[in-house]
Copies of this chain bind each other. A is one copy, B any other.
Amino acid sequence: MSSPKSLHQLRAGVIGTGFIGPVHIEALHRLGVQVAGLCDVAGRVEGAAARLGIARAYGDYRELLRSPEIDVIHITAPNRYHCEMSLAALAAGKHCICEKPLAMDTRQTAQILKRARASATVFAVNYNVRFYPAVLQLRRLAARGELGDIIHVNGSYLQDWLFKETDYNWRLLPEEGGKLRAVADIGTHWMDTVSFILGARITSVFADLGTWHKTRRRPLGEVQTFSGAAEAARYAPYPVKTEDFASVLLQFSTGARGNLAVSQVAAGRKNCLRLELYGSKKSAWWCSEDPELLHFGDRDTANEAAVRGTPAFGPDAAPYIDYPAGHVEGFPDTFKMLFRSVYGAIAGAAGERLFATAEDGHHEVAVCEAILNSHRTKTWAKVPSARPGKTL
């Protein structure tokens, strides 16, 4: 539960007060980082700042960027703002943690990547799944060859929060979230995680995308979410241009093959990311809804379930584990650990930078574009490399 002393001296500014902004703030507070500023549209931001105990509220993010009291910018606004805000934060000389996907297309992400490479500050993309201890441990096991060569990787990321035609969120609109939706929002988590574990980029993809609700109905007026009883009185229909579900076949730079199923209309699946790595020595399986267990499959010995924090789990993730075995760490903890890694890097700590960089963020958007291209052409599509020959 220790934090390097210097973390307490760094001050964060958070842009966005939707679902994920407060998640960032809570994680920063756990680490003892001061959250010195909060930004959203005027009229909304003041109440949020008061509620979250943040001293200063900003109605304009450029003002936040100008503040000398802010060291690190957290961008949690909708996707369409990511590029502009990232570039501005870099121009302002701030460290930056941007939510995924990094931006709307590779034209944008290439710009960010170029500036981030030229900058002395730390730039991170918020792929938090990397920071489940089981995922960190899998990366090290794979790197040490304990699974052998990875033959194929299977898995899925399934949710049901957009199951109904009346479910509504800005991500449904291409102009807010981008041309891909399920794949960009959750599929890239899976793909980034597997690339991270394998230490290998995705080089080609084949995709089949589907839109179940070709028309959805958007609730009008005030909507009471998180309330089973209440329903909006009136709805306006609108055509849906983004995919509800997808199958994506993958080739990795190591030769490993992948198969990913993604859906946001999978009744009963809440936030279920599953990975199965089949190696030439052994297999490993993990699910984000039961994150404490790392399963291993063997031919000659028994299958295993290693509990986070035990000797059998392995020591590699120890810097990113705070609670003893059996005392479940979950989703909020991954944000704490991601920020521990980023703020550690900002504070000058030595060691591997495990968080996703601008290059990783750019690559994931490039993969998404290849997926859309493959679906349209019904053929395998290559993923262009940001810097030929450079691996993860």
User: Which chain A residues have a beta carbon within 8 Å of chain B's beta carbons?
Assistant: 1-3, 5, 7-8, 19, 22-23, 25-26, 29-30, 32, 50-53, 151-152, 154, 156, 159-161, 163-164, 206, 208, 210, 212, 226-228, 244-245, 247, 249, 257, 259, 261, 263, 265-272, 276, 278-283, 288-292, 296-307, 309-313, 315, 318, 322-333, 378-380
Contacting residues, chain B, for A227 (C-beta < 8 A)? 315
Whether B263 contacts A261 by the Cβ 8 Å rule is no
Whether B303 contacts A245 by the Cβ 8 Å rule is no
The distance from the CB of A308 to the nearest CB of chain B, in whole angstroms, is 9
Given A265-B278, A266-B297, A329-B330, 6 extra CB contacts under 8 A: A151-B212, A228-B300, A268-B299, A303-B307, A330-B333, A378-B379
Whether B330 contacts A328 by the Cβ 8 Å rule is yes
From the candidates B3, B160, B282, B303, name the one contacting A304 in the complex (CB within 8 A).
B303
Whether A51 contacts B299 by the Cβ 8 Å rule is no
- One complex includes copies of this chain to the number of 4
The distance from the CB of A90 to the nearest CB of chain B, in whole angstroms, is 28
From the candidates B29, B50, B208, B305, name the one contacting A257 in the complex (CB within 8 A).
B208
The distance from the CB of A335 to the nearest CB of chain B, in whole angstroms, is 11
A65–B1 CA distance with the chains assembled, in angstroms:
25
Given contacts A210-B151, A257-B210, contact A51 B265 (CB under 8 A): no
